[in-house]
Amino acid sequence: MSTIMHNQPQGEGVLSHLGWNLRRLRKDAGMSQDALAKASGLSRRTIVSLEGGDTNISLASLDRLAEALGTNFVQMVSDPQAEPRRIRALAWRGRVAGSEGVLLGSVAARREAQLWLWSLGPGDSYHAEPDPPGWQEMTYVTEGTLRIDLGPETLTVAAGDFAIYSSAQAYSYVNIGEDLVRFVRTTVE
């Protein structure tokens, strides 16, 4: 499933630091693995696997873990030594070559804002789980044409155009063209 973040080689992507960060943040919060599992709605086995660096997880599940720990997505996945404004880490890879989502950076907003660089190969798609209430997305297409499915509403965004919408609903990005589509995505809470 395309919403799942797959393990990447050491030093690549947002899962590189997840196990260490999760263990550190959980201990700093004084939580056991069982307590974190209950607070996040995930299984203890998932928590153990994540801390051991051996699992796949959805972006939405990472958000639930962060919320249960009183932190944010970026703190969960980024290199503790890195500057949050310059993260540039692979977070999603699609089925088609060239399809990927890269977390470029993050700044403080009410709680958090994230800047992403995405690309989808011809016919590829990304299906997202709803974000918590209050999250918004701003998507600017730089190349190709992107279809954004928002439940009953469908937006078609061509290069040079943008869309702003609530991401507190299930939504999908779909490349409806025959060439790579590239877009910048900003999420804000």
Residue 12: predicted pLDDT: 55
Q: Nearest 5°: CA angle at 78, between 63 and 21? A: 75
Q: What number is the average pLDDT over the span 151-174?
A: 93
138: which 2 tokens? 């701003």
Residue 146: predicted pLDDT: 98
- Mark which of 19, 47, 77 sits at the end of a domain: 77
Percent of residues in the chain assigned helix, strand, coil, to nearest 5: 25, 35, 40
Q: What's the structural domain count of the chain? A: 2
Residue 2: predicted pLDDT: 33
Is the pLDDT confidence value at 10 over 80?
no
Residue 3: predicted pLDDT: 45
Is the pLDDT confidence value at 60 over 90?
no
Supply the pTM of this predicted model.
0.62
Residue pair 128/169 in contact (Cβ under 8 Å)? The answer is no
* CATH code of the domain covering residue 23: 1.10.260.40
CB atoms within 10 A of CB 169: 15
Is the pLDDT confidence value at 185 over 70?
yes
Residues 54 and 89 in one domain: no
Residues 13 and 106 in one domain: no
Is the pLDDT confidence value at 28 over 80?
yes
Residue 3 lies in a domain: no
Residues 148 and 70 in one domain: no
Residues 119 and 147 in one domain: yes
Q: What number is the average pLDDT over the span 54-75?
A: 86
Residues 71 and 90 in one domain: no
The string of pLDDT tens digits covering residues 87-113 is 777 878 888 999 988 887 777 777 778
Residues 94 and 174 in one domain: yes
Residue 160: predicted pLDDT: 92
Cα→Cα distances 131→22, 54, 65, 136, Å: 20, 25, 13, 9
Residues 6 or more apart in contact with residue 59 via CB below 8 angstroms: 3, 5, 73, 91, 92, 128, 129
Average model confidence (pLDDT) across the chain: 86
Beta strands 181-188 and 136-143, pairing class: antiparallel
Q: What number is the average pLDDT over the span 20-39?
A: 95
Is the pLDDT confidence value at 187 over 50?
yes
Residues 115 and 33 in one domain: no
Residue 173 lies in a domain: yes
The domain in which residue 88 lies consists of 84-188
Residue 124: predicted pLDDT: 96
